[in-house]
Amino acid sequence: MRRARALAACATAGALTLTACGTGAADGGSTTLTYWLWDASQQPGYQECADDFEAANPDIDIRVEQRGWDFYWTGLTLGLVSESAPDVFTDHLNYYPEYVTRDLLLPLDAFVERDDLPMDIYEEGLADLWVGQDGNRYGLPKDWDAIGVFFNRAMADEAGLTQDELSSLEWNPRDGGTYEDAIARLTVDANGVRGDEPGFDKGNVRTYGLWMSLSPTWNHGQGQWSMYAAANGWQPTDQNPWGTEFAFDDPRFQETIAWYKGLIDKGYMPSLAAQEGVASADQFAAGNAAMVTDGSWMTGTYLGLENVEAGIAPTPIGPTGERASMFNGLADSIFAGTDHPEEAWQWVKYLASPACQRVIGEHHVVFPAITEAWEIAQERYADEGVDVTAFTDHVENGTTFLFPIAENPGAIGSLLVPAFEAVISGQQPVESFTDVNEEINALFE
């Protein structure tokens, strides 16, 4: 049985005790660490990091295991509570607050202090996201992501929309601005009539101008509507991280969602029922969607689709006069019950180092958390003729807002997901978010 309670003492002890806490290679053998991630496209890069790490640490073997998103979290949760989880795993901001409250993650502060590890080498805000309310650090940054608009170049050309036009669209919650004009123009019914032309049949749409791209788990509207609401001046919580008052009763949020639902009512975006459980990239590839709002981590997927040439445009400029994108960042965490805390720390430290993150930058699937490393990724995209400034400009121009971190993420999601679905499907008015917001804030009283 894994020694979770003993390791809590190890994490706050000195260097000699930390080494003794793991079985490691003290007996002359080698230690095998299991490392989980969910993105198959990132596995080659992290396998290269593992190979480099093993070469420098011959007494530690890294077993990299990849599991699909849904199974990943189910398997990880079961493993954490049954003390059979991987030693190290890729962690997400949507889940780690629950793990912290259940004492399932190993605090890293003693290691960081002992090794004098700098936290200022990462993009601003990323390291702070992984400090819990108890003041302890539970992960080291590995990457960041932002939201952009992937569009079908051929469809844009047919609609008379250029890259420059799509990159300078403006949005407002009243009439949608030039952004909604483009969405309407790109929407085509079964008879070939566009959404901005007389006779458009919204009940028989062949190609939607915009796909909803809902996540299977609650993600604060990261890739769906959060960028519009933020560009409308809305912030989800009173502070971040660890806010205790949410603002889903804010008129700026509610008018944003009302506009968003209006795209469905006009036939420019699929209904909730039509798109649930359907992969957005598949719909894009099939020609059922001309544009999809999605994350930078999906760049390789959209640009790698056969028979479809995809372009990338930035999120539209909102009433604030700026664009906006949620700024999410993953981290690597250590299971509190690992038998090898010292070895696990050495691996996590390497994953977050310039050496490994430069490797990830070279593979350019995601943007690493360290500036020099994500700039490598940007250069590699440029070498392939891909312009990713729709994402990187958010970081360089400071138009990002952090993924909301708060206690009770599961309870918040259980309240907001059905509320959002009820509003989007027309079963409840947008004002119903006010009552839901009161229920959410009551969780913190």
Domain count, the chain: 2
In a domain, 379, yes or no: no
Same domain as 355, residue 210 = no
Amino acid present at 413: G
Domain span holding position 90: 4-144+328-369
- pLDDT for res 70: 83
Same domain as 282, residue 187 = yes
- pLDDT for res 423: 97
Same domain as 155, residue 172 = yes
Same domain as 219, residue 87 = no
Same domain as 254, residue 231 = yes
Look at residue 1 and tell me whether its pLDDT is greater than 90: no
In a domain, 393, yes or no: no
Q: What percent of the chain has pLDDT over 90?
A: 89
- pLDDT for res 216: 63
Same domain as 314, residue 270 = yes
In a domain, 396, yes or no: no
In a domain, 101, yes or no: yes
Per-residue model confidence as pLDDT tens digits over 306-336? 999 999 999 999 999 999 999 999 999 999 9
Look at residue 87 and tell me whether its pLDDT is greater than 60: yes
Same domain as 418, residue 360 = no
Look at residue 106 and tell me whether its pLDDT is greater than 70: yes
Q: pTM for this one?
A: 0.91
Same domain as 63, residue 76 = yes
Q: At 33, which CATH number? A: 3.40.190.10
In a domain, 170, yes or no: yes
13 pLDDT band (50/70/90 cuts)?
A: very low
Same domain as 105, residue 225 = no
